[in-house]
Structure 1
């Protein structure tokens, strides 16, 4: 579902428990995935609470506007895919999905994120691309295990300072944000998006490490 083609949508289809059960598929290592993508649903079906013991939940490419509080019944899931919906907010309950490794929220209408998102201590991949975020909240720095962060196509006007506190971060995508391509006159790091690369410190020689530490300090001061 292309973001530019989102228009006024229909109410959405209804999913029965039997239909949902038929959408459970086996994946690697005997894990189970509930795949309700491309179903034309406008709301998360209440009936899927009966399938809360699945390992992955895919609700992507639908017409969903709101994630219900009962999402926290899915305590086992390691992957939650919500991309390409119409979400404008997330419930606090999402912070109780303590097994999550991957959370895909790409291509929605998010302007803010709930503080509870910072409670996902095992999260390794977070995709927030194609939303309406003007800033990245500081509590994202609490995601100490985060390795991949997608922030492309938002409304960020500077490189989020909290990125410097994510010690395990390997890759971040800041493409197509209104971040200046040249450094601000004050010497800040607002224009660093075009030259931001994240590598492990042990991979750098002493000179390069010193230079990176200086750039990092500029970003934090900015």
Structure 2
């Protein structure tokens, strides 16, 4: 009797071809090339994307990725990288070499709900010295690398829905920080007034249920109210435009 191949419990995922990637290319309102491969059940970073490494925006959010290769540093023109709602075991240090994430008006890196291990953030994250917006919400982060203190241009930092038990000391060294969201962390409630003021700008994101991973969907269902939310439609529209 011939033994069959052992079936893997891992999802096979969708195969992305170069033609599919080229068809997914769009041009933003300011003339930049955006590759949107979000919500496509991708489990492995498509190697064919390296042939399109001159694009300016790459959206791989809401997939099943566990690893981003070091070759991500070939996308030197990237101004926006969206990896949220994946299953990354760690964030590659190579992201720190994406120098165009540092340029004015293009300083956006979103890793929300991407990294599923407490130690998944690289020390090299601090090399993005001009980063203005960093969203690390809905992960399992227990601490931030001290190098985050080097992000002197950072204005917005999302740390909501993590495993932080105290406010990271490195945040104290961010002179331009205006918005800080540390909600839904096991942090004692005796926060300073300054931190409370920065956290009032909690954001609302509107997404379909089938676009969320199991953990995110569970958290959303457990959240019954949005404290301090006054104009949900305008807030959602503003932040959707920002992340896009």
For normalisation by structure 2, the TM-score amounts to 0.72
CA change 1:126–1:193 in 2 (3 A) is farther
CA contact (8 A) 1:9 1:63 kept: no
Give me the whole-angstrom Cα distance separating, in 2, the residues matched to 1:67 and 1:149: 22
Specify the alignment match of 1:20 in structure 2.
21
CA contact (8 A) 1:181 1:192 kept: no
Specify the alignment match of 2:57 in structure 1.
56
Give me the whole-angstrom Cα distance separating, in 2, the residues matched to 1:193 and 1:154: 21
Report matched runs for 1:8-47 at 5 Å: 10-47=11-48
**Over aligned residue pairs, what C-alpha RMSD do you find?**
1.8
Which stretch has the larger CA shift, 161-170 or 51-60? Answer: 161-170
CA change 1:75–1:181 in 2 (3 A) is same
For normalisation by structure 1, the TM-score amounts to 0.79
Q: Which runs of 5+ in 1 are unaligned?
A: 1-7, 183-190, 200-222
**Cα shift at 1:193:** 8.3
Specify the alignment match of 1:146 in structure 2.
154
Specify the alignment match of 2:196 in structure 1.
196
CA contact (8 A) 1:159 1:192 kept: no
Specify the alignment match of 2:137 in structure 1.
129
**Cα shift at 1:196:** 2.4
Q: Which runs of 5+ in 2 are unaligned?
A: 1-8, 102-106, 200-244
CA change 1:125–1:9 in 2 (3 A) is farther
**Cα shift at 1:122:** 2.4
**Cα shift at 1:75:** 0.6
State the Cα deviation string for residues 43-87 of structure 1 (Å, max 9, x = none): 110000111111110000000000001100111111100000001
Q: Secondary structure at the match of 1:33?
A: strand
Specify the alignment match of 1:167 in structure 2.
175
Q: Among residues 105, 110, 117, which one is paired with 2:111 in the alignment? A: 105
- Following TM superposition, the consecutive aligned residue runs of length 4 or more in structure 1 with deviations greater than 4 angstroms are none
